[in-house]
């Protein structure tokens, strides 16, 4: 069982693992070992078969890859896998009975592999290593999800700020227009007052002449 990390992870049954080996008995053996942890196992009997599967499905948490295979080797298959952006974050553990020299191990890491498991496979070692990298994958996946949420939140906040700025500019322009209107209204009122005074004076002048 995976320890509680406080992150809402996918159930183990939703953890997909791709196992690639040209020998059916090895595929069945690894599947039998890992089925105890309730992972979903997909099997491929060659590098090309693995690539075909990955063209249609890219939600694998881990790939277990045999190194020595006819056609495409594990290293060659891994190189092709990591050429696709959607697949480059899937960790690959190489499984091999040969080429345990440092130069071959270095080649595996250089190709993008994260670890090695030697044949014959030790069941508990396999389960522990798979569990570790599945946990790391889940945490990284959660981080990517959180990052996307933050980006969306930032975009929404930026939009809200821009909308507020636009609203503030509109309010400022309306206030400026209102002040101009008030000034114009004041000027009109003053002009009316002057007109009323002049008119009143002009109307009173004939009356004064009559009274005189």
Give 10-residue mean pLDDT values along the chain (212 residues): 39 78 93 89 94 90 92 91 88 79 65 82 90 85 83 83 85 86 84 75 60 56
CA dihedral 110→111→113→119, nearest 10 degrees, is -100
pTM of this prediction? 0.63
Question: What SS3 class is residue 21?
Answer: coil
* Pairing relationship of beta strands 115-118 and 92-96 according to DSSP bridges: parallel
- The pLDDT assigned to 165 comes to 85
Output the CA angle 18-72-141, nearest 5 degrees: 30
pLDDT given at position 191:
82
Look at residue 99 in the predicted model and tell me its pLDDT: 55
Burial of residue 62 (number of CB atoms within 10 Å: 0-12, 13-18, 19+): buried
Calpha distance 130→39 (Å, rounded): 10
Distance CA 94, CA 50 (A): 14
Task: Give CA–CA dist 18/61, Å, rounded.
Answer: 8
Confidence at residue 204, expressed as pLDDT on a 0 to 100 scale: 62
CA distances from 149 to 84, 153, 161 (A): 24, 6, 18
Could you tell me if 74 and 99 are in contact, meaning their C-beta atoms sit under 8 angstroms apart? no
Res 103: pLDDT: 62
The CA distance from 30 to 42, in Å, is 11
Which backbone phi and psi does 66 adopt, to 5 degrees?
-70, 140
What pLDDT shows up at residue 5?
Answer: 36
**What's the rounded Cα separation, in Å, for the pair 64 and 119?**
13
Q: Which position has the token pair 């990284």?
A: 140
- Whole-number CA gyration radius for the chain: 39
């Amino acid at each position: 069982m995976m320890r509680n990390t406080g992150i809402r992870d996918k159930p183990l049954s939703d953890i997909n693992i791709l196992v690639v080996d040209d020998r059916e008995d090895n595929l069945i053996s690894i599947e039998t070992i890992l089925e105890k942890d309730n992972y979903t196992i997909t099997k491929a009997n060659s590098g090309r078969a693995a690539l075909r599967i990955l063209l249609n499905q890219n939600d694998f948490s881990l790939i277990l890859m045999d190194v020595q295979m006819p056609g495409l080797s594990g290293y060659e298959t891994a190189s092709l896998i990591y050429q696709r952006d959607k697949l480059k974050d899937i960790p690959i553990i190489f499984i091999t009975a040969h080429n345990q020299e440092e130069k071959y191990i270095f080649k595996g890491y250089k190709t993008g592999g994260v670890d090695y498991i030697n044949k014959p496979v030790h069941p508990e070692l396999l389960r522990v290593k798979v569990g570790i990298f599945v946990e790391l994958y889940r945490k990284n996946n959660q981080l990517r999800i959180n990052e996307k949420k933050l980006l969306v939140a930032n975009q929404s906040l930026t939009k809200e700020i821009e909308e507020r700025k636009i609203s503030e500019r509109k309010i400022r322009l309306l206030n400026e227009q209102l002040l101009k209107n008030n000034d114009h209204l004041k000027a009109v009122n003053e002009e009316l007052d002057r007109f009323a005074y002049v008119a009143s004076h002009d109307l009173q002048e004939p009356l004064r002449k009559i009274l005189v």
